[in-house]
A and B are shown apart, each in its own frame.
Chain A
Amino acid sequence: MTATSTLLTLLVIAASGFVLARARALACAGGDSRALHSLPGHYGWASVLLTLGPALALFALLKIAAPPTPAGTLAVLALALAALAWSLRRTRPNFRARQTVERGVLALLMLAACVAIATTAGIVLSMLFETRNFFAQYDWREFFLSTTWAPRFQGDSDLGILPLLWGTLYISLIALVFAVPVGLFAAIYMAEYAGGRFRAIVKPAIEVLAGIPTIVYGLFALITVGPLLRDYFAQPLGLGTSGASVMTAGLVMGVMLIPFVSSLSDDIIAQVPQSLRDGSLGLGATRSETIRQVVLPAALPGIVGAVLLAASRAIGETMIVVLGAGAAAKLGLNPFEAMTTITVKIVSQLTGESDFAAPETLVAFALGLTLFAITLSLNVLALAIVRKYREQYE
């Protein structure tokens, strides 16, 4: 018997348990559901939970512990049937079926909430193990403090994170410098000034930006923005001849981030109570004074949250950088030079023939963990800022 058919059989048993328990409860009460402690349906669901819960747990245990055997399958089905019989025996008018169902629902919800935590923990652990392997072969001081990134597959590589970190932060900074004002101003216009019809068209249009795959943005950077910047800015100013540059990737990434900033800020600005605006207008403030001095300060925690969320996205972005900024690891200030980021190098270290014991491959996990640490601290910072200002403003 395959796992699928076992599960289907379990479902059939549980379904019959629902019907039987419900009918039995009603029969016990002589057809008058008011004589029961709970609704008839509760008895049915309680039976389903009691039947499925232990059987599924056993099924999962056997699945992890050993290859599927007919004996194991039979044990699972036997357990389900036994639980069904027991639950039917318990179905009496004074059985507190409602409480059982409520506890079952609670357990289900808790399980769902734990999935996220378990996944995060799993990711961190797997990265930690590989990172430990990496640092066993490569000095951590070299990794964090060296300014050269020069992996060689014959060995003896320089794997300093600084050029990559610098590229990541530089490109993200340019992206944010572009996206935050544009996104915020768009949000202010939409929340405070725009009429219903304009809003109905522009808001979805901006959100379409968020739906464009980043590889498409990358193409846009590669074939349009890059050459444009090279021909009209970099070359006339004598700053470089490269189409791939920090500026290209930063600007295109900025466009990608606009909807994150504007959409969230718009919602937050719209939530500022109208009474505050009335109060300010009633004192003879103009609309822009009201926005600048009352609405924005009140919305600030949310806006900071939106900006930091955008920053996390920028730091983790890969495709736009590969196509827009190139893959050359460099420490430099010229924004029209090609540079690269942590994410791009993670990809390039892991693609092709990778030997998972060599530091040149394992470095990817150390890079990934560093990236994770950076975005995590940004998120924690965002939460802390939001909390601090919320106390002050509400």
Chain B
Amino acid sequence: MKDTLTEGRGTAADTAKIAVRGLQVHYGDTHAVRDVDVDIPDRAVTALIGPSGCGKSTFLRCLNRMNDTIPAARVTGEIRIDGEDIHDARVDPVQLRAKVGMVFQKPNPFPKSIRDNVAYGPKIHGLTRKRSELDEVVEKSLRRAALWDEVKNRLDAPGTGLSGGQQQRLCIARAIATSPEILLMDEPCSSLDPIATAQIEELIDELRSRFAVVIVTHSMQQAARVSQRTAFFHLGRMVEYGDTGKLFTNPADPRTESYITGRIG
């Protein structure tokens, strides 16, 4: 991995997929995210950790402008993906979200068949013209999400009938079927058992060969296992950002140390 990022606040780097400067988010009277500057690298997993309510999920939802759907949310500051400001008037949030996929905390398969769940994105974006192409995309996405072997004989069964871990992998397959460049994951394993969690983590590790993955997690072990870079959020601020190994073994900020040793959070 090309890593020209320095420790502490993320600073300019040529390889940054996402560059965030001076980001502020308000929910009504609550100042949820304050002054966040960060550069997120391509083809790597970046973990966001921090105690509940620290703003990490809110920050994540800024990256595909999902906060637009919440009337009370107000986002200011600059977020550039591949150098283009996503708040620019020319950027359509609908197109942006096709490029920046998202996987949510609770598996949320649509009330449709497994096939239609995965085909949903490609269909609405008109990515495929023929049924055979669509089937190909479905198969490829399910294979990448390590779910194909379990569901290949029942693609027409409802997606809601799968187990929790399978549902979450289905949601990942659904997200990658639109061929995004960035994958956002908001605590994707928080409702899963340890075996399903291990499968998803293995999957995340494979996904980083193609996507920039940004994952919010409550589990520091998970952050340490799957990510190359970690950002620690506390009270709406990004306290520390750096190489995962470094952050967990030799944190620069005393608050980070307190959190990873279990004294706050």
Question: Using a CB–CB distance below 8 Å, which chain A residues touch chain B?
Answer: 273, 275-286, 289, 293-294, 297-298, 392-394
- Interface residues in B102-118 by Cβ distance below 8 A to A read 102, 104, 106, 108-112
B112: chain A residues at CB < 8 Å are 297
A283: chain B residues at CB < 8 Å are 97-98, 101-102, 120-121, 124, 174-175, 178
| Residue of B101, B108, B124 touching A275 (CB-CB under 8 A) | B108
Are B125 and A284 in touch, CB under 8 angstroms?
yes
A27 and B12 CA atoms in complex are apart in Å by 85
B120: chain A residues at CB < 8 Å are 280, 283, 285, 293
| Residue of A275, A281, A284 touching B95 (CB-CB under 8 A) | A284
A277: chain B residues at CB < 8 Å are 69
A280: chain B residues at CB < 8 Å are 110, 120
CB distance from B63 to the nearest CB of A (A): 11
B125: chain A residues at CB < 8 Å are 284
| Residue of A284, A294, A393 touching B98 (CB-CB under 8 A) | A284
CB distance from B255 to the nearest CB of A (A): 31
Are A284 and B111 in touch, CB under 8 angstroms?
no
A273 and B160 CA atoms in complex are apart in Å by 13
Are A282 and B124 in touch, CB under 8 angstroms?
no
Are B98 and A281 in touch, CB under 8 angstroms?
no
| Residue of A279, A297, A392 touching B108 (CB-CB under 8 A) | A279
- Interface residues in B204-248 by Cβ distance below 8 A to A read none
Contact with A along B122-151 (1 / 0, CB 8 A): 001100000000000000000000000000
- The chain A residue with its CB closest to the CB of B171 is A279
Are B104 and A278 in touch, CB under 8 angstroms?
yes
B64 part of interface (Cβ distance < 8 Å): yes
| Residue of A278, A289, A293, A393 touching B160 (CB-CB under 8 A) | A393
| Residue of A276, A284, A293 touching B94 (CB-CB under 8 A) | A284
Question: Taking A283-B101, A283-B174, A289-B124 as contacts, is the C-beta distance between A297 and B111 under 8 angstroms?
Answer: yes
CB distance from B253 to the nearest CB of A (A): 32
B8 part of interface (Cβ distance < 8 Å): no
| Residue of A286, A289, A392 touching B111 (CB-CB under 8 A) | A392
Q: 8 interchain pairs (CB within 8 A)?
A: A278-B104, A279-B108, A280-B120, A282-B175, A284-B95, A284-B99, A284-B121, A294-B110
How many of chain B's residues have a CB under 8 angstroms from any CB in A?
28
Are A281 and B97 in touch, CB under 8 angstroms?
yes
B51 part of interface (Cβ distance < 8 Å): no
A379 and B66 CA atoms in complex are apart in Å by 41
A275 and B64 CA atoms in complex are apart in Å by 16
- The chain A residue with its CB closest to the CB of B121 is A283
B158: chain A residues at CB < 8 Å are 392-393
Are A282 and B104 in touch, CB under 8 angstroms?
yes
CB distance from A277 to the nearest CB of B (A): 8
A394 and B101 CA atoms in complex are apart in Å by 24
A388 and B124 CA atoms in complex are apart in Å by 27
- The chain B residue with its CB closest to the CB of A281 is B69
A276 and B117 CA atoms in complex are apart in Å by 11
A282: chain B residues at CB < 8 Å are 64, 66, 97, 101-102, 104, 175
CB distance from B111 to the nearest CB of A (A): 4
Are A276 and B124 in touch, CB under 8 angstroms?
no
Contact with A along B76-110 (1 / 0, CB 8 A): 00000000000000000011111101101010111
CB distance from A172 to the nearest CB of B (A): 30
- The chain B residue with its CB closest to the CB of A273 is B108
Are A284 and B178 in touch, CB under 8 angstroms?
yes
Other than A278-B102, A293-B124, A393-B111, give 11 A-B pairs with Cβ distance below 8 A: A277-B69, A282-B101, A282-B104, A283-B120, A283-B124, A283-B174, A284-B98, A284-B121, A285-B124, A289-B124, A294-B110
- The chain A residue with its CB closest to the CB of B95 is A284
A294 and B159 CA atoms in complex are apart in Å by 13
- The chain A residue with its CB closest to the CB of B175 is A283
Question: Taking A282-B64, A297-B111, A298-B111 as contacts, is the C-beta distance between A275 and B104 under 8 angstroms?
Answer: yes
- Among B111, B125, B171, which residue has the most Cβ atoms of chain A within 10 A? B111
CB distance from B42 to the nearest CB of A (A): 20
CB distance from B171 to the nearest CB of A (A): 7
Are B98 and A279 in touch, CB under 8 angstroms?
no
A126 and B200 CA atoms in complex are apart in Å by 65
Contact with A along B60-71 (1 / 0, CB 8 A): 000010100100
B98: chain A residues at CB < 8 Å are 283-284
A393 and B113 CA atoms in complex are apart in Å by 10
